[in-house]
Structure 1
């Protein structure tokens, strides 16, 4: 049980209830998270639509986005986020066994060179962002546009925010995550 009360969408003004339900219905099984975020209308009004808009724009291939999110979530030991994003990464073409080994020094062969670059970048950008070297940035530019690098970095740091938010408030995984 979360440390704060989950707010049902029925308690919100119609505009916020619509955002809440759109996000909970379209983005994935994140109802417990959005029910806590609903305590802060500005966060609900801006964060959830931004995530939906980023997904719709598909500037960054889903596989790389989900690799980065799972890596950061593993670094932060956020079980909620790993449980939610592992299935997205499986849909993006990574086997469940490989997802489980994403932090191993000896990565499974199904992770190609770009996957490995994203894993490396996610680790550095989250743990020691002032140590993103010119060489690492140049490697990213070989495979990604500047807009994609910005989104990748944005999603890495947002993931860390959500990891900390979920863990600090003890947001529980939804039942459908385990289905």
Structure 2
């Protein structure tokens, strides 16, 4: 159970309840997280709506987004996010065993050149953002537009925020997320 009470959408104004329910229904099994975010209406209104808008825009291919999210979540040991995003990444073609060892990207048999640069970028963007080498950025730019690089940086670092938020407030994995993880072989 989270450190704060879950707020049901029925306690929110209609505009916020709509965002809450749309996020919980369409984005994935994140109802426990959105129920905590509901304590701060501006966060619910802007963060959840932004995540849905980014997903709809499809600027960044889902495989690379999920790789970055899993990498940062593993670095931060956020079990909530790893559990939620592992099934998304298995759909993108990486096995649960491959996801388990994604931080060992250099010789990872399931990762191609682009996947590897995304892993390397996510690690650098999270751990040493002020020391990312130009060579790594150029390798990333060889595969991604500027808009995609910006979104990758946004989603990578935002993931770290979500990791810390989830852990600080002890948000529990939803049963649906646990079931999806088990079905994915994780």
Shorter chain as denominator, the TM-score bin is over 0.9
Give the ranges of 4+ consecutive aligned residues of structure 1 lying more than 2 Å apart after TM superposition.
104-108
Deviations 1:126-173 (Å, cap 9, x if unpaired)?
000011111111111100000000000000010000000000000000
TM-score of the aligned structures, taking structure 1 as reference length: 0.98
Counterpart in the other structure of 1:35:
35
Q: Does 1:100 align with 2:97?
A: no
Tell me the distance in 2 between the aligned counterparts of 1:87 and 1:131.
32
5 Å-filtered alignment, 1:85-96, equals 85-96=85-96
Counterpart in the other structure of 2:62:
62
Tell me the distance in 2 between the aligned counterparts of 1:123 and 1:109.
19
Counterpart in the other structure of 1:148:
148
TM-score of the aligned structures, taking structure 2 as reference length: 0.94
Stretches of structure 1 that go unaligned for 5 or more consecutive residues are: none
Root mean square deviation of aligned Cα: 0.9
Tell me the distance in 2 between the aligned counterparts of 1:120 and 1:141.
13
The answer to whether the Cα contact below 8 Å between 1:101 and 1:107 also exists between their aligned partners in 2 is no
Deviation at 1:92, TM superposition (A): 1.1
Aligned length: 179
The answer to whether the Cα contact below 8 Å between 2:70 and 2:81 also exists between their aligned partners in 1 is yes
Tell me the distance in 2 between the aligned counterparts of 1:101 and 1:177.
21
Secondary structure, in 3 states, of the residue corresponding to 1:143? Answer: coil
Q: Does 1:49 align with 2:22?
A: no
Tell me the distance in 2 between the aligned counterparts of 1:124 and 1:32.
30
